[in-house]
Amino acid sequence: MAKLPDQDNIALEMYEAAARSRDKARTYLGMSQIGNTCERALWYQFRGYNAKPLDGRILMLFRFGDRIEEEIIYWLNKAGYKVEGQQEGFSDFNGSFRGHSDGTVHGITSQPHILECKSCNTKKFKAFKTNGIRRTSETYYAQSQCYMGYSGLERCLFVVQCKDTSELYTERVYFDLDEFRSLKEKAHQIISANDAPPITLRETSFDCKWCDYAGHCRNPDETPLTNQTCGNCRHVYFDDIQPWCKVHQGKLNHWGKKCGDWDL
């Protein structure tokens, strides 16, 4: 009788498959991240630097979060609300600043609301219930301001589900025009910057420790640049929000790709 495969090896192979499935680096600055307090990290992300590898189990957790979004929308519809426009896209600065909302929900009040679905563990869920969206996650709050600003809506409904208990927390967030303008200006400055913004956080801080781009930021000589694109090529520069190439001597029309003249 053939020996049964070791169960731990099966799990390991599944984790490795998940690790290989990580999405490629974005070719734009994401509205879902613009609330990050470190503009340097946002610049590295926009320029296409590869993020540090993630464990397959963590990527499975992210995928699980996507499934919860589907469930939240399903139950909102079952409860008598109407959700439409799922993954509606918003874009600015020639497509360099983008985002996709989870939808628009009708029936909360007379006004439609941008819908944002989130999931978290028990500890984070308690923080949302105690402190609210903005104090718990400035990134989520900024994301909602961008989606409201670009959609023309003045309300956002957050639905947060605890992964451990399925308990729900809902909160309505109002549009803040000054906040929206500030976030747009922040995005503009990051996109148009030809050099990484200065370091503002201590290397021992929580944000630095868990940053996807800590290697490129702190130890660039020891961190391989595996995602070589025009965004991190020394021949490319920005004139306001328009990228130009010194080698090709003209406007760059293939942002996010690599050509034979790429150089660091």
Q: List pLDDT tens digits, range 5-26.
A: 566 888 888 888 888 777 667 7
Burial (Cβ within 10 Å: 0-12, 13-18, ≥19) of residue 53: exposed
Tell me the average pLDDT across 247-263: 82
Distance, in Å, from the CA atom of 254 to the CA atom of 252, rounded to the nearest integer, reads: 6
Q: What is the pLDDT of residue 102?
A: 96
Higher pLDDT: 178 or 57? It is 178
pLDDT value of residue 185: 98
Domains in the chain: ranges and CATH: 21-227 (3.90.320.10), 231-264 (no CATH)
Model pLDDT, residue 178: 98
Give pLDDT, residue 202: 87
pLDDT digits (tens, 9 = 90+) for 81-125: 999 998 889 999 999 999 999 999 999 999 999 999 999 999 999
Question: Which of 218, 210, 244 has its CA nearest to residue 230?
Answer: 244
- For the chain, the average pLDDT equals 91
What value does the mean pLDDT take over residues 52-57?
80
Predicted local confidence at residue 5, as pLDDT: 58
Q: Tokens standing for 176? A: 């803040």
Q: How confident is the model at residue 51 (pLDDT cuts 50, 70, 90)?
A: confident
- Residues facing 200 on adjacent strands: none
Between strands 97-100 and 89-92, the pairing is: antiparallel
Angle at alpha carbon of residue 181, lines to 69 and 230, rounded to 5°? 75
DSSP 221: G
The Cα angle at residue 63 between residues 61 and 67, in degrees rounded to 5: 110
- pLDDT, position 251: 80
Distance CA 66, CA 45 (A): 21
Q: Is the pLDDT of residue 4 over 70?
A: no
State the sign of the Cα–Cα–Cα–Cα dihedral 132, 135, 136, 139.
positive
Q: CA 2 → CA 5, 7, 67, 118, distances in Å?
A: 9, 15, 37, 45
- Give 35's pLDDT tier (boundaries 50, 70, 90): very high
Q: Can you give the pTM of this predicted structure?
A: 0.90
Residue-wise pLDDT tens digits, 198-231: 998 888 888 898 899 999 999 988 999 988 899 9
Beta pairing class for 97-100 and 104-106:
unpaired
